[in-house]
């Protein structure tokens, strides 16, 4: 049985099913009507099971998996930091954490088609896991999506629908298809099961570090799928006593499209657009209020980084052995900026590198 849905804003509840709503009647995003209960940390974890080693803490049964998870945590001496290689995944990005749980729910609900909209990585991930599940996928992308990303989606057999206009128009087209009864909205931004998956990044980091939370994490923010997953994951770990404090969550956005940085008061709104970081150019994150709360509760902040800075860091990363896409370089460029603004070098910092460079052509 799959848990139903609940609105954190107005308290309405909805039953689980292939026709369940993707949004509350009040307009807010929905959550799963089930809290993760961690209990005591197990003595060992079955790493062969990938992130499903944490299945006792996941609100969904393992139905669709490609062995994803336990991404490497490696030393990055150039930056006096530790990188979590979140591009070491079947589709080349951390989005697989959310796709494995979201498609697992889709199978449990007997969904006959999944619909997603994405600038690339989330679409490629949902399409790959839909193929693994044997469920047809329909992925809405902006016209002009990077050819390597389009190919990654199309090669799975999923239908690619190109939409002219802004990123918001692409989402609108996908939601119209859902409203017309064409399929279930497997949206990385809206679907709460996706966030249950991204929480496992925090669980892995805790286990890999011997249950010692880092001082801070520097994380890119578009819709905040990883940022919120880390927040929720570390919060669950702290309340279960696996770790004794929350890391500070330091966000990084692309200059020119940095709504959270503007809200928490550390970005100039008029900066030139960072077009290199197209993957996180989200003007209206669905869960903006939750992200802002997570920033404030962890004594964090959010900054925006410029294109030139991102490009320079991207090249430095590749020369240091990290072949990532430009949007991943945003986080490390952000770390460099935080360091010049008072983040001590002796602070223990973990930075996720979110997407592979192989898909950025």
Query: Please, are residues 139 and 118 in contact by the beta-carbon 8 Å criterion?
Result: yes
In terms of phi and psi (left: phi > 0; alpha: psi -120 to 50; beta: otherwise), the region of 148 is: alpha
DSSP sequence for 226-255: HHHHHHHHHHHHHHHTSSSSPPEEEEEEET
Give the helix ranges, DSSP H, for the chain.
95-108, 121-133, 147-154, 167-179, 192-198, 200-208, 225-240, 259-263, 288-297, 307-319, 326-340
Answer yes or no whether residue 9 interacts with Zn ion by CB under 5 A.
yes
Stretch that binds Zn ion, among 4-12, 54-62, 153-161, 300-308 (CB under 5 A): 4-12
Nearest to 119 by CA among 188, 167, 184, 172: 167
Specify the stretch interacting with Zn ion by CB under 5 A; choose among 6-14, 60-68, 104-112, 307-315: 6-14
Task: Using the minimum distance from each CB to Zn ion, give the nearer residue, 29 or 220.
Answer: 29
Q: Of the two residues 26 and 56, which places its CB atom closer to Zn ion in the complex?
A: 26
Establish if 7 lies at the interface with Zn ion (CB under 5 A). yes
- For residue 189, the minimal CB distance to Zn ion (Å) is 17
Beta bridge partners of 162: 141
Q: Give which of 151, 228, 159, 150 is closest to 189, Cα–Cα.
A: 228
> Is 28 one of the binding residues for Zn ion (CB under 5 A)?
yes
**Under rule CB under 5 A, residue 179 binds Zn ion:** no
Spatial distance between the Cα atoms of 201 and 222, rounded to a whole number of angstroms: 17
Nearer to Zn ion by C-beta: 24 or 64?
24
Among 19, 26, 47, 296, binds Zn ion (CB under 5 A): 26
Total residues binding Zn ion (CB under 5 A):
7
The alpha-helical segments, DSSP class H, found in 272-306 are: 288-297
Toward Zn ion, which CB reaches closer, 8 or 148? 8
Q: From the CB of 28, what's the least distance to Zn ion, in Å? A: 5
Nearer to Zn ion, 34 or 151 (CB): 34
State the minimum distance, in angstroms, from the CB of residue 21 to Zn ion.
10
Q: Which stretch binds Zn ion (CB under 5 A): 18-26, 136-144, 192-200, 223-231?
A: 18-26
Site residues for Zn ion per CB under 5 A: 7, 9-10, 12, 24, 26, 28
């Amino acid at each position: 049985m799959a848990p139903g849905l609940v609105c954190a804003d107005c308290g309405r509840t909805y039953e689980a099913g292939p026709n369940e709503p993707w949004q509350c009647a009040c307009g807010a995003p929905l959550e799963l009507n089930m809290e993760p209960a961690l209990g005591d940390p197990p003595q060992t974890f079955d790493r062969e099971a990938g992130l499903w080693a944490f299945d006792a803490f996941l609100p969904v049964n393992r139905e669709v998996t490609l062995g994803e998870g336990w991404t490497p945590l490696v030393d990055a001496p150039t930056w006096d930091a530790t990188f979590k290689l979140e591009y070491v995944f079947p589709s080349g990005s951390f989005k697989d954490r959310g796709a494995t749980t979201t498609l697992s729910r889709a199978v449990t609900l007997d969904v006959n088609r999944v619909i997603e909209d994405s600038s690339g990585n989330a679409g490629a991930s949902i399409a790959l896991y839909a193929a693994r599940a044997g469920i047809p996928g329909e992925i809405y992308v902006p016209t002009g999506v990077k050819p390597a990303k389009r190919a990654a989606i199309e090669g799975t057999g999923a239908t690619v629908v190109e939409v002219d206009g802004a990123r918001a128009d692409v989402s609108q087209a996908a939601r119209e298809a859902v409203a017309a009864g064409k399929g279930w909205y497997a949206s990385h931004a809206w679907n709460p099961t996706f966030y249950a998956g991204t929480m496992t990044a925090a669980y892995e980091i805790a286990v890999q570090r011997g249950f010692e939370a880092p001082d801070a994490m520097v994380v890119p923010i578009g819709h905040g799928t990883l940022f919120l997953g880390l927040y929720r994951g570390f919060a669950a770990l702290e309340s279960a006593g696996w770790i004794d404090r929350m890391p500070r969550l330091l966000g990084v956005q692309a200059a020119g499209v940095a709504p959270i940085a503007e809200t928490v008061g550390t970005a100039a709104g008029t900066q030139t657009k960072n077009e290199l970081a197209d993957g996180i150019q989200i003007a209206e994150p669905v869960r903006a209020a939750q992200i802002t709360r997570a920033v404030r509760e962890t004594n964090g902040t959010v900054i925006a980084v410029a294109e030139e800075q991102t490009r320079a860091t991207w090249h430095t990363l590749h020369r240091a052995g990290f072949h990532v896409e430009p949007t991943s370089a945003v986080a490390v460029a952000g770390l460099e900026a935080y360091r010049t603004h008072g983040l001590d070098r002796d602070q223990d910092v973990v930075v996720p590198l979110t997407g592979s460079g192989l898909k950025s052509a």
